[in-house]
Amino acid sequence: MTTVDTRKAAPRRSVNLHAIGPLAALVVLLLIGMALNDNFLSYSNLTNVLARSAFIGIIAVGMTFVITAGGLDLSVGSMAAFVAGVMILSMNALLPTMGLGVGVILVGILVGLLSGLFGGAINGLLITRGRIEAFIVTLGTMGIYRSLITWLADGGTLSLNYELSGVYRPVYYGTVLGISWPILVFALVAIGGEIVMRHTRFGRHCAAIGSNEQVAKYSAVNVMRVRMATYLLLGILVGVATVMYVPRLGSASAATGVLWELEAIAAVIIGGTMLKGGFGRVWGTVVGVLILGLIGNILNLTDLVSPYLNGAIQGVIIILAVVLQRGGLKAH
């Protein structure tokens, strides 16, 4: 009897440690930030971190579903740059006929969302119908989107009309009760994503496919449809993130969205979602986004390490997170 009880208790401790780990890391980062800079916990600094992290956070929520279902998408940063370019070109082209006003902005937002959805559909169709590995497909589309935005900008930068940019600015800089729109949208997307992942058939099917695709098929799960839906969801969330990003700078270039895919994947893995699929949690992804955002913020405030090494630090974090996941699985 004693042996059976011990066997039952061990997995619970493993799961709890697996869940507490990201939260503990977040608390440690907050304490380090407080110790290194007096302004770290100021309202302006924290809201700035959240607003800048919102773009990655919105995309990372979609990436959580893709990875949970056993997929991967390396093209999200390049896709965001392409979507931003298409939005800017569309709004500039419509300005002479539609005039300066909210109508042009609404059309631009619709173009951004549809462009993101289209990009997700292309990836999803090639992976599901074309039966090509997700890594290969999204590596290819990453190069395609980055080249397209470079071509559209003629190697330079696409800029939104100055007056139109002033009309669009409140989408990023505007606030509701002191909270900026990117933070609010990120919060809504995260809450919705957590509900879908935990309490809907779609979320359960994503986990089932990532865990064992053949068993999922035998359980009457439409694997192709669910996997396609994850890429469509990620695509439209790339569109949402880009819609919030464009008014920040009012421009797009080949440098837009660089390393966004790395940050999104890092946030998902840090948050506890299994890289091989089968288990995912959106709330953990949100914690992962905050961890990455705070690391970058601490580097900027303290000058301990060059901000140019931020990508290297994120790469190390991804490797460590995967190593810890494997260690947790072996212990389990």
Give the DSSP per-residue string, 63-102: HHHHHHTT---S-HHHHHHHHHHHHHHHHHHHHHHH-SSH
pLDDT of residue 241: 97
Distance, in Å, from the CA atom of 240 to the CA atom of 33, rounded to the nearest integer, reads: 30
Mean pLDDT of the 279-293 span = 92
Mean pLDDT for 175-199 is 94
Q: 238: how many CB neighbours lie within 10 A of its CB? A: 34
pLDDT for 328: 54
Distance CA 138, CA 76 (A): 9
Radius of gyration in angstroms for the set of CA atoms belonging to the chain, rounded to a whole number: 21
CA distance 290 to 287: 5
In sequence order, what DSSP letters do the residues of 239-252 get, joined into one string? Answer: HHHHHHHHHHHSEE
Per residue in 50-101, pLDDT (tens digit) is 999 999 999 999 999 999 999 999 999 999 999 999 999 999 999 988 888 8
pLDDT at 326: 64
Mean pLDDT to the nearest integer, 285-312: 83
The pair phi, psi for residue 251, each rounded to 5°, is -150, 165
By the 8 A CB rule, do 285 and 267 touch? yes
Predicted confidence (pLDDT) per residue in 123-134, tens digit? 999 999 999 999
pLDDT of residue 11: 42
Sign of the CA dihedral with 148 first, then 252, 49, and 37 last: positive
Given a cut of 90, whether residue 323 has pLDDT beyond it is no
Mean pLDDT is lowest, of 7-21, 27-41, 137-151, 283-297, for 7-21
The number of helix segments (H) and strand segments (E) in the chain equals 14, 4
Residue 231: the pLDDT is 97
Q: Which of 118-122, 160-164, 181-185, 322-326 has the lowest mean pLDDT?
A: 322-326
* Lowest mean per-residue pLDDT among 63-77, 166-180, 185-199: 166-180
CB atoms within 10 A of CB 104: 22
Residue 19 binned pLDDT confidence (cut-offs 50, 70, 90): low
Q: Which amino acid is at 48?
A: N
- Which helix (H) or strand (E) segment is 180 a member of? strand 179-180
Report the first-to-last Cα separation within the chain, whole angstroms.
20
User: Is a pLDDT exceeding 70 seen at residue 331?
Assistant: no
Q: Please write the tens of the pLDDT for every residue from 202-256.
A: 999 999 999 988 898 888 889 999 999 999 999 999 999 999 999 998 999 999 9
Percent of the chain surpassing pLDDT 70: 92
What does the block give as tokens for 281?
């949690």
